[in-house]
Amino acid sequence: MGGWALAVHGGAGVDPNLPPHRQEQAKQLLTRCLNLGISALRSNASAIDVVELVVRELETDPLFNSGRGSALTEKGTVEMEASIMDGSKRRCGAVSGLTTVKNPISLARLVMDKSPHSYLAFNGAEEFARQQGVEVVENEYFITPENVGMLKLAKEANTILFDYRIPTAGYDSCGVGAESPLQMNGLPISVYAPETVGCVVVDKEGRCAAATSTGGLMNKKSGRIGDSPLIGAGTYACGVCGVSCTGEGEAIIRGTLAREVAAVMEYKGLSLQQAVDFVIKHRLDEGKAGLIAVSNTGDVAYGFNCNAMFRGCATEDGFMEVGIWD
Amino acid sequence: MGWAIALHGGAGDIPLSLPPERRQPREEALRHCLHIGVEGLKAKLPPLDVVERVVRELENIPQFNAGKGSVLTSKGTVEMEASIMDGTTMNCGAVSGLTTVVNAVSLARLVMEKTPHIYLAFDGAEEFARQQGVETLHSSHFITAENIERLKQAIEANRVQIDYTQPIQNDTKKETAIANGDSQIGTVGCVAVDGNGNLASATSTGGLVNKMVGRIGDTPVIGAGTYADTRCAVSATGKGEAIIRGTVARDVAALMEFKGLSLEEAATCVVHERTPKGTVGLVAVSAKGEVAMPFNTTGMFRACATEDGYSEISIWPAATKFE
């Protein structure tokens, strides 16, 4: 192949009963984001600029779980996190615990470009945001009535996560029986908010980049950090590929999922699709997750081991696809 | 086969001219911690318990950059972070932004075992610490005179932006922070394997001298500073930003897994071929009971022991054998 390519996602794990109009909205948003990215790539924008641009759009739209529309902490507040990585020199930037920054991915980029560090969080990150003069708003801006409702349901579902390795005695029952409905991260799928948005791009020069952004897990403890801001877990980009993951954060962290795609390409000589398939199959144990990836040779691929993933991809030769289900 | 353990007290630009009064307490501390770890393995404690115990000990020792003795942020405060990983189950826990918790590594373990999450930070982590009733002390407990001095030097030497390419100041009659704000003492960590091939890793730190408030390094990032699976356990130290982008700890395991390299080959490759000179050191053990402790910095405070009776406590490249 060769030429530019991009992919976007709006989260892995989707309620099979998601109403058709919501599915349609999601597809439209994904399409809009792809078009934004395609436009930029046609104007010779670099991969790192395109991933930021696309994820900003996803953050600003309240539909998915990032920026506005983020899932809520157990306290009913929003704490956002994001990371971005530039494959050409493997520079990276990440942020966690943001409460007022309108576009977390842009702050992550500033951490990468304008600070001596790779990762800033909570008060320190908010302070940096003000020093950099990024747009800040009240925490309420990010909270949608829909998510307020979801939080209530999540609390009612008594969501203490099952850990297969820990005996359940002493833990409250999750209220689901042996024939439990679809679950992710211990939440019934109907209240589990697909966790994350992301974008991966390879530009005309073969440079790869990746970006991921999220509000995190519905009903999470304040201070909880997931996979999205962790380089190697939720986001990774190097000379051969760019990867963004979504799904059960714990599984993605343990499996160092994003990094694995690059590792098997490099160390086992797998192609991008082979690498994606391998990682989804072998690095997830019982965990549920998905990912999108591009290679420096212009390939694009995605994979997931759960029931669905909001995604879209496009390549320079005119291919374009948006999907949800398997 | 057999058990093995390795631990470190940080890799960095440790000057060869380090005077005895600064060197000996650290060597003694390494010996003490090694002993604790070895006794634990001999008593057949799970490696996860052993690495936690050893790192707790290292955190309590003020000469190392973790727990008490943590280096200071640009505001003169302490923000500690740690992570722990159990290679057999691949369970892990991490914490960042702690200001009052005496043993960050133990809180990381509690996150792993008592919450549905892997990683808690800042206020949320401190709140969790109180819920769990772990030992906390006023943050002044962690601050040492040495680190106040380090911060002062780093601030004086700083330009507007911390510049990693600045040359080392010649004014190093003390073992102090070099001009770029780095501490020469990076982190503490421990890896262990028992006779059955169960592996575990733990790492803990105060971070970088003069770091921005809220800065998170490699130490709590699984795959960067800490990693363990059924092949090996790794704990890294050095320049956090380099370890993060190099996913150093996971890279050792990945090379073993996907390229069939031995522990020694994989560790050497990552440190000497895949990360920039002067940035990284690590300790690693394999399921077979092997040990590797490569570093591409001037030195790394380290110690190791294996069941066949070998033990070592060293700082610079030439290994010095002790009883």
Q: Quick one: pLDDT at residue A193?
A: 62
- The answer to whether position B124 is within a domain reads yes
Contacts of A223 in chain B (CB under 8 A): 120-125, 127-128
> Which one is catalytic: B73, B176, B187, B297?
B187
The residue segments making up the domain with residue B190 are: 4-164+184-314
Q: Quick one: pLDDT at residue B161?
A: 29
0.90 exceeded by pTM: yes
Count of CB atoms within 10 A of residue B107's CB?
29
CA distances to A61, A66, A243, A256, A320 from A32, in Å: 11, 17, 21, 30, 12
H helices, E strands: number in chain B: 8, 12
- The answer to whether position B217 is within a domain reads yes
DSSP H helical segments within B83-187, as ranges?
A: 104-114, 122-132, 145-157
Q: Quick one: pLDDT at residue A155?
A: 87
Q: Quick one: pLDDT at residue A181?
A: 62
Q: What are the residue numbers of the active site of A?
A: 196
Q: Quick one: pLDDT at residue A262?
A: 98
pLDDT-based confidence at residue A285 (cuts at 50, 70, 90): confident
The three-state secondary structure class of A15 is coil
**Separation in Å, CA of A282 to nearest CA in chain B:** 12
Assign a CATH topology to domain A5-142+191-316: Glutamine Phosphoribosylpyrophosphate, subunit 1, domain 1 (3.60.20)
Query: Searching chain A, which residue's CA lies closest to the CA of residue B257?
Result: A267
Q: Quick one: pLDDT at residue A166?
A: 28
pLDDT higher than 80, residue B178: no
Mean pLDDT of chain A: 90
pLDDT higher than 50, residue A247: yes
Q: Do A160 and B116 touch (CB under 8 A)?
A: yes
Query: Searching chain B, which residue's CA lies closest to the CA of residue A275?
Result: B258
- The answer to whether position B175 is within a domain reads no
Is A247 within any annotated ligand binding site? yes
User: Ramachandran region of residue B222, left (φ > 0), alpha (ψ -120 to 50) or beta?
Assistant: beta
Token output for A119: 């990762």
- The answer to whether position B37 is within a domain reads yes
Q: Do A224 and B124 touch (CB under 8 A)?
A: yes
pLDDT higher than 80, residue A1: no
Q: Please, which residues 281-310 of chain B have a Cβ atom closer than 8 Å to chain A?
A: none
**Separation in Å, CA of A35 to nearest CA in chain B:** 30
* pLDDT per position as a tens digit, A41-76: 999 999 999 999 999 999 999 999 999 999 999 999
Contacts of B122 in chain A (CB under 8 A): 97, 121-123, 223
Q: Do A222 and B212 touch (CB under 8 A)?
A: no
**Any idea of the CA torsion for B92, B216, B124, A69, to the nearest 10 degrees?**
-100
pLDDT higher than 80, residue B173: no
**Separation in Å, CA of B160 to nearest CA in chain A:** 11
Are A116 and B164 spatial neighbours (Cβ–Cβ below 8 Å)? yes
B91, B163, B247 ranked by CB distance to A256: nearest: B247
Query: Using CA atoms, how far apart are residues A81 and A79, in angstroms rounded to an integer?
Result: 7
Q: Quick one: pLDDT at residue B24?
A: 94
pLDDT higher than 70, residue B98: yes
**Separation in Å, CA of B323 to nearest CA in chain A:** 38
pLDDT higher than 80, residue B236: yes
CA distances to A131, B156, B169, B317 from B76, in Å: 19, 14, 22, 33
pLDDT higher than 50, residue B247: yes
Establish whether B136 is a catalytic residue. no
Q: What are the extents of the domains in chain A?
A: 5-142+191-316
Q: Which residues contact A103 (CB under 8 A, 6 or more apart)?
A: A56, A59, A60, A67, A134, A135
Contacts of B215 in chain A (CB under 8 A): 117, 119-120, 124
- The answer to whether position B170 is within a domain reads no
pLDDT higher than 90, residue A29: yes
Q: Quick one: pLDDT at residue A194?
A: 62
- The answer to whether position B171 is within a domain reads no
- The answer to whether position B179 is within a domain reads no
* pLDDT per position as a tens digit, A185-237: 767 766 666 669 999 999 999 999 999 999 998 889 999 999 999 999 999 99
Q: Quick one: pLDDT at residue B166?
A: 33
* pLDDT per position as a tens digit, B252-288: 999 999 999 999 999 999 999 999 999 999 999 999 9
When scoring A220, A224, A236 by the number of chain B Cβ atoms within 10 A, the one with the most, hence best to mutate, is A224
pLDDT higher than 60, residue A87: yes
| CATH number for B294 | 3.60.20.30
pLDDT higher than 50, residue B225: yes
Q: Quick one: pLDDT at residue A156?
A: 84
**Separation in Å, CA of A321 to nearest CA in chain B:** 31
Q: Residues of B annotated in the binding site, as ranges?
A: 215-218, 237-240
Q: Which residues contact B171 (CB under 8 A, 6 or more apart)?
A: none
Q: Residues of B annotated in the binding site for substrate, as ranges?
A: 215-218, 237-240
Please report the sign of the dihedral spanned by the C-alpha atoms of residue B103, residue B59, residue B113, residue A155: positive
How many structural domains is chain B composed of? 1
Query: Searching chain A, which residue's CA lies closest to the CA of residue B111?
Result: A224
Count of CB atoms within 10 A of residue B226's CB?
34
Query: Searching chain A, which residue's CA lies closest to the CA of residue B212?
Result: A124
Q: Quick one: pLDDT at residue B319?
A: 53
Token output for A217: 């897990």
- The answer to whether position B173 is within a domain reads no
Q: Which residues are A82's β-sheet partners?
A: A95, A213
Query: Searching chain B, which residue's CA lies closest to the CA of residue A123?
Result: B214
Contacts of A253 in chain B (CB under 8 A): 92, 118-119, 222-223
